[in-house]
Structure 1
Amino acid sequence: MVATLDIEHLERVTANFRQYLMGWGAELSEWGDPDHYRSGLAQPQFNGVVRLRSLDVVEESMATARARLAGVPWWWWVGPDSPAGTVEALTGLGAVSLGAVPLMARPLDQAEQTEEPPPGPRVEEVGDGDRLRELVRTYSASMGVSPSLEDGVVRVEAGRSDNADIVRLAAVLDGRVVGTTVVMMAHEVAGIFLVHVAEAYRRRGIGGALTTAALRAGRERGMRLAALGASPMGEPLYRRFGFQTVSQYHLFSGPTS
């Protein structure tokens, strides 16, 4: 079931999403249509297209994206901020669909169900240095990112120009990071990204503790909404916290030739 979110709020949510993803563009800044970003890392999550502005130039935009993202794997995200018909146009150009990601949101003035925190782990804010590296290592392992990319991911995380808008949270147990989330505080939205729990520590309530901490951080910083893209594993958890599906992102694999 898809809930209704007014146009202004949906635009704020998608602007938050674009800002987060485009912050991975370590090599180049915004280029225009389509909005895309390139970290240079050999991992598709860190390179891609996040919005097409006009369907009239979809072929030219595909050619532009292929040229500027040549040499790295990448994804094309098609959300509610791209024109109607973009999914069909990309399919017609040979882009390979990877499925859809539910876009979920909830007001931050709405009380969530309180859950008992799991015994042991504490959730703490992460700055730079060794703890940032541990945070990257934990979510990278969960995402299947090669350990050889760790230095590059840490470099991009530490060097983002919008780090003042980001709160990084880690669940720490016995001195080690066992869970992560990154919250983008922008456009009056707390965008929740990279919610990952190390495999050996799943089903212990750590994901819920991280979500609670992310919502609290957004509320403390005056955000009006919380939003996220949900995985199949995470969607039931987020519904329990009051999130509702408001739209979706269609995901395509960017052609490499």
Structure 2
Amino acid sequence: MNNELVEIATSELKQYGIKPEVTHTNGGHIQITWRAVPEKELRCVTTAKTGSDWRNRMNIRAEVRRLLRADNVLKKEEPKPKKHPELAKALNLPQPVTPIPDQLAAMRGEIADLTELMMRTFKMVGIMRETIASQAPPPPPPPAPPEPVSSRSVKIKEFLSLDRWVSLSALARDTGLSPQQIRLKLYYLQRLGEVSVHQGQAKLNEVEPRPKKPRGRAAHKIKAKMTKLNGHARPNGHKQSRAA
């Protein structure tokens, strides 16, 4: 009978040496009956004639196994195949042993093959490295060193204070000047009395600011005025003698 559920149930029962009986019911179903143990009751499962999905297949297999467990039926063991005495004797024979000189020769051959393989690998790796290096873009040029800071553009008095001492290392860090440039500036301001320097530290002195010298047109006017005043202050005799 070509029905998947029937085949599943009958194949499950055949594992226990049970041959079931398959019949049709009046309601259009298939009934599978068997008796596993003579003193036990007749067991029965019912399936549909139409196609089934995976849930029906699992349900019919689980139902058959449940009834078999209830009857304490053990699975039928298949007889073990007998071993042929000739085959067992052949398997028990000692295996041939390779002589030691032949083993050494085989090991040397394997070592030589392995060495040649490693040399080929190293050569291939070197070729790949050269290819990658040739295709890679050139490295960027190193950054140009920063231009030295001009000492004239830095007014060191702006980094000093009247109420606290400032170390020369802090001045070099803040101004960007070299220690030699800082010492020269401080020495010049110390000669003018505007800065005090003591044990590698410096601070401003309380002095009146120096008057700024006139430049440009103002300086030219002052110079012309001083020349004119100097000319009127000379004695008349001096002018006459010079004219003579």
Same fold (TM over 0.5): no
Q: Which has the higher strand share?
A: 1
Q: TM-score, normalised by structure 2?
A: 0.18
Larger RCO of the pair (alpha carbons < 8 Å, separation 6+): 1
